[in-house]
Amino acid sequence: MENLKVIDYRIKHMKGYDEKIGNLVSMLEHARSVTLKDVAGLTQKELDFLPDENGNSIGSLLKHIAFVEYVHQVITFENRDLNEKELSKWDAAYELGEKARNEINNHPLEFYLEELSAIREKTLKLLTSKQDSWLYQEGKWSNGVPFNNYWFWYHVMEDEISHRGQIRVIKRQLATQR
């Protein structure tokens, strides 16, 4: 398992990035550091634990966090949606629920950490090639609602933080099971 780094509680510019992108990277990395701290040392059994018959496991939430970042890479850097092969690979992590309960299990923590790390490494590399103006590039969904790249990367962070809250609740439930 990778060593956890000391969490930095400052939002600051990161070298190698345009100013706003550097600040965004700082926030993404802070969110990830806290998530990694929260899941450090979890066993496969703990990762697979289901809080109730309709719940999601910590493992499936980690896979979902990886999926959200991956799909946002595809949308914002490649300007496309997932293809059929990608959808098939990520379907359970995307949908969660019953599909995830059936398909995302029996993996050690390292499996999830490696996936999260590989996707984040690619995100950071891709962001070095962008200027702040890229964050404000806009598009519209099929229903006419506008979006920009900044929102997509804000959503990556907000989604991870939201699911980290679920992970903390599941960990409390696990503690009462002991």
* pLDDT tens-place string over residues 95-148: 999 999 999 999 999 999 999 999 999 999 999 999 999 999 999 988 999 999
Domain count, the chain: 1
Q: Report the Cα 29 to chain-centroid distance in Å.
A: 11
The secondary element (H helix, E strand) that includes residue 167 is helix 149-177
The DSSP 8-state label assigned to residue 139 in this structure reads E
Q: Is residue 14 part of a domain?
A: no
Nearest-angstrom CA–CA distance, 155 and 159: 6
Domain CATH number, residue 99: 1.20.120.450
Q: Is residue 158 part of a domain?
A: yes
Q: Calculate the alpha carbon distances from 40 to 3, 32, 45, 151, 165 in Å.
A: 9, 12, 14, 29, 15
Q: Calculate the alpha carbon distances from 142 to 68, 72, 92 in Å.
A: 20, 17, 24
Segment 31-55 shows an average pLDDT of: 96
pTM, rounded to two decimals: 0.93
Q: Which domain holds residue 118?
A: 19-177
Q: Is residue 11 part of a domain?
A: no
Q: Is residue 145 part of a domain?
A: yes
